[in-house]
Amino acid sequence: MPPQFSYRLNGTIVPMLYIVRERVNGKLTGWMRLTAVWIDGVGRFTIDDDTHPWEFTFPQHVLEYRNETEWESLTPSARQMDKQEGWRRVAPHELLDILESAGVIHCCESQAPTFCDFS
């Protein structure tokens, strides 16, 4: 069973992520992109993709994740020592890599058209 994750955007818990497959000229590229999040009381909220160089802009949104399965397995003293309480700051494309490596999302490029299975 894949690990459970929690997400925050600017410190607000996010119960849902919107991940889409990219298209170029109407054809699927095989790449995925995190485009938006769901915030209770606000609805769907589009986030920036942090593709601009860091020298010119600061990220408009702070996206964080916590591996709940890993966090629950820590000892109480280890939890207490973690100043971020298990939350790790990431860029949207980094979060997709983490979720894919953890087995939460799967992209299969061997079939046409490319499809993603969100477990």
Q: Which two tokens stand for residue 106?
A: 């799967």
- Answer yes or no: are the C-beta atoms of 118 and 99 closer than 8 Å: no
Instruction: Please give the single-letter amino acid code of residue 21.
Output: R
Expressed as residue numbers, the domain containing 72 is 5-118
- Give the containing element (helix H, strand E) for 76: helix 76-81
Q: What is the pTM of this model?
A: 0.75
Q: What is the pLDDT of residues 3-47, one digit of tens each?
A: 999 999 889 999 988 888 777 888 877 777 788 888 888 888 887
**What is the distance between the alpha carbons of residues 87 and 95, in angstroms, rounded to a whole number?**
12
pLDDT at 81: 95
Q: Say how many domains are in the chain.
A: 1
Q: What is the pLDDT of residues 54-95, one digit of tens each?
A: 545 556 778 999 999 999 999 999 999 999 999 999 988 888
Classify the C-alpha dihedral 52-58-64-86 as positive or negative: positive
- Give the containing element (helix H, strand E) for 16: strand 16-24
